[in-house]
Structure 1
């Protein structure tokens, strides 16, 4: 049974991804990956390519997606594995979220400018986006690239090996544009329950993505989410602390849920994250093979 597995990665079909599916497979082959799942944000457009190049490279590719949704007022991400990715509903969701994101693009920039003294080059932001979604990461790339912003106290941790210099663009998004932050503009995502049902109806497994990253100090909400009928939890994530891993491991084990592994590889937006599978802590290493086997069995 394979141990070189990564079930969470993004291609250029995600609004914040860098590489094509072909390039991702090449990286995976170089790193000795045996099982990979492409989980683009709200998009399944890269799945066919990923499967094609995966076959050529001798890598098992699992169809996947990561969908934005909302539960009890909290924005979160639901992973779908083994889905019938050709169903029209997945394309409809992508188009719907794209339209909503484009509608608020200027508002996001205006809120950042109105709530900070940062220099924000709006024209350059739209130029880099090239007609695609204006992400917090793109705005961050432009703002952090402006030399006059380097001495702004708001950005102190982003430079000179500061705490946020490991992946500055993503931290910028989290700090200024994520839910509850000063430049956040709400979008009405579909309910988590609807997304879970769609994934299941399409023959897939619904797995809660990196819950520690979304719920922070409100981890206990996972109890309610489990009641909604999810199939698994992304226990092993590059975002989870040892304590969070243990917390979600115990919740999954208690409720007989699948436990998945994910690097959440993106490319330049998360440069410290490599496409090499999530390194399971030593405490759980002996269980990894069984967890992978259980996952593969459930996909059949």
Structure 2
């Protein structure tokens, strides 16, 4: 079995490809199981659920929920839950309003930091009717501005995945460009996903937790069902660390490319960092889902 359980479609604020395109790419890459797990958004996952069987690809319902873990932010992947529960629609609407609220704040921070002025109307046009976010602001910044601190993202060592790299380097929690979103607490998310019959997996933990075993254990004790061990963001050290964590505590290990289409151009659907047979690990995940159902 070959699986990619962390894919974003155009329903997500930061991704570009349709469900039809994702299904086509899944067949091209000979994937047996996929999940669309958009940020605080369910429309793409529900569309995939409708179309997957006809396309000959097994699918798993999923969502990626941004939440606070202490002063940090973690992304938690809910698998197998009932996405028709009205709480997911409330989560979606709240997140959209938060993106709208923080967009202008982040734009001002970036303009002040680099001493420049961006064309807000052009940023709005890039957002195509949605609230503009760090994605559209960064696209406009890198496409139109000249500044020595931007060179690494425009043509240097961070340019292969410029929007994501700019976010993690400059705009994430603890950085000068962070605009605080009002997000749920991780324990609320864990309890809610379990109530909806789903298993809860920590997405790309090396991005948020690094090699912090104490934090990983706190999440385990709080109810998470596993970690995304194999991710396009993880090097061999990170994969080994979280593989050992899951083995030690009997948790589920998952596989995710975090594909976003053209907004993360160096990430290929199906390339998760694991080339072996996913079947045994997927069965553990399905057992966790069955437990909560």
Structure 2 counterpart of 1:155 = 150
Name the stretch that deviates more: 239-248 or 257-266.
Answer: 239-248
The correspondence for 1:130, drawn from 128, 131, 145, is 128
Q: Match for residue 10 of structure 1?
A: 8
In 1, are the aligned partners of 2:6 and 2:255 still within 8 Å (CA)? yes
Equivalent in the alignment of 1:290 = 280
- Could you tell me how far apart the structure 2 residues matched to 1:51 and 1:217 are? 35
| Structure 1 residue 46 displacement after superposition | 1.6
Question: In 1, distance between residues paired with 2:28 and 2:248?
Answer: 37
Structure 1 residues 185, 219: closer, same or farther in 2, change over 3 A? farther
Structure 2 SS opposite 1:104: helix
Q: 1:223 aligns with which of 213, 217, 239?
A: 217
Instruction: Structure 2 unaligned segments of length 5 or more: list them.
Output: none
Pairs aligned (count): 290
Shift of 1:23: 1.6
1:259-270 paired onto structure 2 within 5 Å: 259-270=253-264
Q: What's the CA shift for 1:277?
A: 4.1
Q: Does 1:64 align with 2:62?
A: yes
Deviates more, 1:98-107 or 1:77-86: 98-107
Distance in structure 1 (CA, Å) of the matches to 2:213 and 2:112: 33
Q: Distance in 2 between matches of 1:227 and 1:298?
A: 15
Which of 227, 250, 263 in structure 2 is aligned with 1:233?
A: 227
Change (3 A) 1:294 1:217: closer
TM-aligned CA deviation for residue 94 of structure 1: 0.7
3-12 or 210-219: bigger deviation: 210-219
Helix, strand or coil: the match of 1:182?
coil
Q: 1:66, 1:80 within 8 Å by CA — same for their partners in 2?
A: yes
* Change beyond 3 A, Cα 1:52–1:227: same
TM-score of the superposed pair, with normalisation by structure 2: 0.94
Q: 1:236 to 1:217 in 2, by over 3 A?
A: closer
The TM-score, its normalising length taken from structure 1, stands at 0.92
Q: Structure 1 residue aligned with 2:194, among 196, 200, 203?
A: 200
Cα deviation, residue 101, structure 1: 1.6
RMSD: 1.6
Q: Secondary structure at the match of 1:94?
A: helix
**5+ long unaligned stretches in structure 1:** none
Q: 1:98 and 1:58, CA in 2 relative to 1: closer, same or farther beyond 3 A?
A: same
